[in-house]
Amino acid sequence: MNKHILITGSTDGIGKLTALKLAKEGHHVYLHGRNEAKLNTVVSELKEVSNNKNIKGFVTDFSDIKAVKQLAGLIKNEVPKLDILINNAGIYKSPTDKTKAGLDIRMAVNYFAPVVLTDNIVSVLDKGTNARIINLSSAAQSTVQKDVLTGDATVNASESYAQSKLALTMWSFKFAQEHPNITTIAVNPGSLLNTKMANEAYGQHWSPAEKGVDILYDLAMSERNKNQSGTYFDNDRGMFSNAHPNAYDADKIKSLLTLTEAIISNYIK
């Protein structure tokens, strides 16, 4: 059965390669990118290579959470249902550490954006068949600092990236509890895969990008993972594993989400 699948950050890296793999199988694939020209090029390329015309692109800058809310509205109007959402969009290296609104840019793109998008398209996911959400976490996870979350403090790129990925993992686990009808899994797709992000950040890679593609595909599509909601898959170890201890601390999760809701409501009025 053909599925309706949205992959954020899918104009390059493992997002694009996963989209291509799914498009070749004939699924309805929705791409997302922040550059309209690049997105249109990728949509055309994937249509031609996969011989699948059911590919559509959405343009949004994920550093602007108000724009992400608008994207959610567009999806609700234009996408009949979603069986799979892969929250893949992410940023590490950036010419600026802050968004125009003053938030930490990695926290905005890697955490706030997928939270805002997902929370606002639950109704579209509820229309899907055995819906799944795959959230891109990381082996790098670090305790979330309140001032980094609010944008009042600046830390180095690796620290803010690690904090954003733990925040997403903590939210992912809570979302899974609140939406038992949607299988929600957080995943470290693999450290230093051969992608633009890793090569720009570290100038090297350890594993081929296909390692990440294969696990995203498996978690999203395989029947054996349908009962793994609220878990974390570590692809460096090749198994479901434990995330950072804070991801299992109910009080810390509650504090994070309370502050998250306050920040989001402040920027989306």
Tens-digit pLDDT profile for residues 35-62: 999 999 999 999 999 999 999 999 999 9
Q: Is the pLDDT of residue 192 over 70?
A: no
pLDDT at 267: 87
The terminus-to-terminus CA distance of the chain in angstroms comes to 40
Q: Is the pLDDT of residue 259 over 90?
A: yes
Instruction: Write out the residue range of the structural domain in which residue 144 sits.
Output: 4-267
Sign, CA dihedral 6-57-29-8, equals negative
Cβ distance 240 to 222 under 8 Å?
A: no
Q: Is the pLDDT of residue 199 over 60?
A: no
Q: How confident is the model at residue 16 (pLDDT cuts 50, 70, 90)?
A: very high
pLDDT digits (tens, 9 = 90+) for 45-104: 999 999 999 999 999 999 999 999 999 999 999 999 999 999 999 999 899 999 999 999
pLDDT digits (tens, 9 = 90+) for 226-256: 999 999 999 999 999 999 999 999 999 999 9
Q: How confident is the model at residue 191 (pLDDT cuts 50, 70, 90)?
A: low
Question: Cα torsion for 226, 59, 170, 14, to the nearest 10°?
Answer: 60
Closest CA to 69 of 117, 107, 126: 117
Q: Is 9 helix (H, G, I), strand (E, B) or coil?
A: coil
pLDDT at 114: 98
Tokens, residue 225: 């993972």
Cβ distance 145 to 227 under 8 Å?
A: no
Specify the DSSP class assigned to residue 262.
Answer: H
Element (H, E) at 49: helix 36-50
CA of 132: how far to CAs of 33, 41, 125, 165, 246, in Å?
21, 28, 8, 19, 24
Cβ distance 54 to 30 under 8 Å?
A: no
Q: Is 51 helix (H, G, I), strand (E, B) or coil?
A: coil
- Residue 143 Cα to chain centre, angstroms: 19
Cβ distance 176 to 229 under 8 Å?
A: yes
CATH number at 123 reads 3.40.50.720
**Percent share of the chain, pLDDT over 90:** 88
Q: How confident is the model at residue 208 (pLDDT cuts 50, 70, 90)?
A: low
- Residue 233 Cα to chain centre, angstroms: 14
Q: How confident is the model at residue 195 (pLDDT cuts 50, 70, 90)?
A: low
Number of domains in the chain: 1
Radius of gyration of the chain (CA): 17
Q: Is the pLDDT of residue 198 over 80?
A: no
Tokens, residue 220: 């999203």
Give the type of residue at 226. K
Q: Cα(159)–Cα(141) distance, rounded to whole angstroms?
A: 8
DSSP collapsed to 3 states, 184-230: EEEEECCCCECCHHHHHHHCCCCECHHHHHHHHHHHHHCHHHCCCCC
> β-pairing, 239-241 with 231-234?
antiparallel
- Residue 58 backbone dihedrals phi, psi, to 5 degrees: -125, 130
Cite the DSSP H helix spans in 79-156: 105-107, 113-120, 122-126, 146-150
